[in-house]
Structure 1
Amino acid sequence: MKFSHILPILFITLFSASCSTDNDDDLIINELENLIKVQNLVNDTHTIEVYTKSGSFYTGYNAVSLRIVDNTSKSYIENASINWMPVMQMPTMQHSCPKSDVLKTTNKKTLYDGYIIYQMTNTDGSGWSLTINYTIDGITYVVTDTITVLQSKLQNVSSFQGSDNKRYVIAIIEPTKPIIGINNLVVGLYSMETMMSFPEVENYSLALDPRMPGMSNHSSPNNTDLTYSSTDSMYHADLSLTMTGYWVLNLKLVDAEYTVLKGEDVTETNTQSSLYLELEF
């Protein structure tokens, strides 16, 4: 074969290889679309990149994405098993908070997803640490560091004791962008089994009564109470918002035996339940 014939083939081969590498890099970069890095957690072997949509942790529900980078090869780990433990250090004790399992993100090569619900923080955002235990090819690693958890402007999470003397945590998950009309309201409900364990509470119900305190405390039509869904282990309802502004979502928690554990009806003399969450848009 003449060299003049070989040269175009060589160019095509090199161009194809270059495109393949670029596409892989682009895919890895595109996996971070709409995500901002919170911080890196580093040990001798790996760097754990921690991402959220805001680039920060806040009290309430946080959807969290992780990536693991090999410190030597700078490559991303695609086959890790991960679990985590957020811990808040109090003056005389420490506790964790509700959290999900960490799973590989669907259709993503390098990302792992989960959520953490921080029920409180210090005024300067201090007090919390995050420990990540992970296994790669049968070898177990651990990394831990302090993190900053900022206080949300609205009450999107509440920690309380029920009439059954158990402690609960409730947090709003959706809507993140409320609209005028019917919104899909999603709430997580957890019990404090121990200081480090907050399992999901199943098959309770939450009566819902949204009100606008700044507008004569009026409510809205076509709301439904929150009921448990085994599909995602969350509580779902229709939330009707008739105008923009500040809303209080008055709640009443009822167990499987129809006992009211927390919260009261809103009446002319009782303008707000003791169990509530807030929205503003």
Structure 2
Amino acid sequence: MKSIQFIYKLIPIILLTVFATSCSNDNEDDNPTLTSEVDGLSKIQDFTNANHTIELFNKNGMFETGYNAISLRVKDNATNTYLENVSLSWMPVMQMPTMQHSCPKSNITKALGKNTIYEGFIIYQMTNADGSGWSLTVDYNINGEAYSMTETIEVMQYENQNVTSFMGSDNTRYILALIEPKNPRIAINQMKVGLFKMENMMTFPVVESYTIALDPRMPGMGNHSSPNNTDLSFNSTDGLYYGDLSLTMTGYWMLNLKLLNAEDEVLKGEDVSEQNESSSLYLELEF
């Protein structure tokens, strides 16, 4: 009889424990502050004002010259929660001795499958030797109220030429940046680049429907090339250029390029030959 009474007393405790555990799990699933959406990313920097903190992330935790894929999230400082419905835009600016300019950048959009993460890219075409010179302004809107934060940032020089700025024969300044392959291998790699033109000092729209001819060479190995490369063509879905890059061995590769407009007129770059070992338009890759 005492055993039965003990069991009856124990049942409410068990039910209460199960209910509390269930509620706790529901909260973890529903509350973005209790789950991590930045696994695999490293924080670059925080922007903070009295109301909010904007956290910036990427794979290596720093800005570098060239293509930078960036993830952001916005925290409400009062509640310590990350916000799910924010409209964001940004403006990177480099301060030169006599002028200032921006660089190619994307819109900021909600990351696919994420509650609180937003993403975009910025292509820094240059920097000072110590990483100084750049600032980043992030404008954002929450429930119809506009905010803005500007912070100084560091942009370090990437070890190889993964971005180049040049004047074409059409008197237009272009920015060309290597995006893929990030982890090159001995194989036919997908090559992806971004091509932009300088409309003015602050505006760099995507260049559409051009062709980028590709001739990869190994200067340290007799300047040999590789088979089965294809020229890069424009993809209207994401506004980038794609081609095949054949890498037959590890080491330093010069990716010799020619830029051709929609009429197949060469705007920059030359063929590689015995008399001309490299193009004036190129990117670099080493692995």
TM bucket (normalised to shorter chain) is over 0.9
CA contact (8 A) 2:28 2:35 kept: no
Residue 22 of structure 1 deviates from its aligned partner by 3.8
Deviation at 1:237, TM superposition (A): 0.3
Match of 2:53 among 36, 43, 47: 47
Equivalent residues of 2:33, 2:80 under 8 A apart: no
Determine the structure 2 residue equivalent to 1:138: 144
1:159 and 2:156 correspond: no
Aligned to 1:87: 93
Alpha-carbon offset, residue 252 of structure 1: 0.2
Aligned equivalents of 1:89, 1:174: Cα separation in 2: 29
The equivalent position to 1:36 in structure 2, one of 28, 34, 42, is 42
Which structure would you say has the larger Rg? 2
Once the two structures are TM-superposed, the CA of residue 6 in structure 1 deviates from its matched residue by 2.5
Aligned position for 1:208? 214
CA contact (8 A) 2:92 2:103 kept: yes
Q: Does 1:225 align with 2:220?
A: no
Q: 1 CA distance for matches of 2:33 and 2:214?
A: 43
Mapping for residues 1-281 of structure 1, pairs under 5 Å: 4-24=10-30, 29-281=35-287
Residue by residue over 1:101-157, the C-alpha shift from the partner in whole angstroms, topping out at 9 and shown as x without a partner, is 000001111100000000000000000000000001111100110000000000000
TM-score by length of 2: 0.95
Cα shift readout 1:150-185 (whole Å, capped 9, x = no counterpart): 000000000000000000000000000001010000
Amino acid at match of 1:181: A
Amino acid at match of 1:123: A
Whether contact under 8 Å (2:191, 2:242) holds in the other structure is yes
Shift of 1:28: 5.7
Q: Go from structure 1 to structure 2 and tell me whether the alpha carbon gap of 1:67 and 1:248 turns closer, same or farther (over 3 Å shift).
A: same
In structure 2, the CA distance between the partners of 1:250 and 1:27, relative to structure 1 (3 Å rule), is farther
SS across alignment from 1:214: helix
> Residues 198 and 26 from structure 1, CA distance in 2 versus in 1: closer, same or farther, beyond 3 angstroms?
closer
The two structures, once aligned, show a CA RMSD in angstroms of 1.3
Code of the residue aligned with 1:204 in structure 2: it is: Y
Change (3 A) 1:245 1:68: same
Conserved 8 A contact 2:33-2:81:
no
1:250 is displaced (CA, Å) by: 0.2
One-letter amino acid of the structure 1 residue matched with residue 65 of structure 2: T
Aligned residues with identical type, % of pairs: 59
Which secondary structure state, in structure 2, belongs to the residue aligned with residue 169 of structure 1?
A: strand
Whether the aligned pair in 1 keeps the contact of 2:260 and 2:266 (CA below 8 Å) is yes
Q: How many residues align?
A: 280
Q: Distance in 2 between matches of 1:78 and 1:225?
A: 41
Whether the aligned pair in 2 keeps the contact of 1:132 and 1:142 (CA below 8 Å) is yes
In the aligned structure 1, how far is the partner of 2:230 from the partner of 2:34? 42
Q: Which runs of 5+ in 2 are unaligned?
A: 1-7
Q: Which amino acid aligns with 1:201?
A: V
Secondary structure at 1:5 match in 2:
helix
Question: Which structure 1 segments of 5+ residues have no match?
Answer: none
The offset of 1:24, in angstroms, is 5.0
Tell me the amino acid that sits aligned with residue 102 of structure 1: I
- What is the CA-CA distance between 1:11 and the residue it aligns to? 1.1
Instruction: Give how far 1:3 is off.
Output: 5.1
Contact 1:188 1:234 (8 Å CA) reproduced? yes
Letter in 2 for 1:262: K
Alpha-carbon shift at residue 30 of structure 1 (Å): 3.4
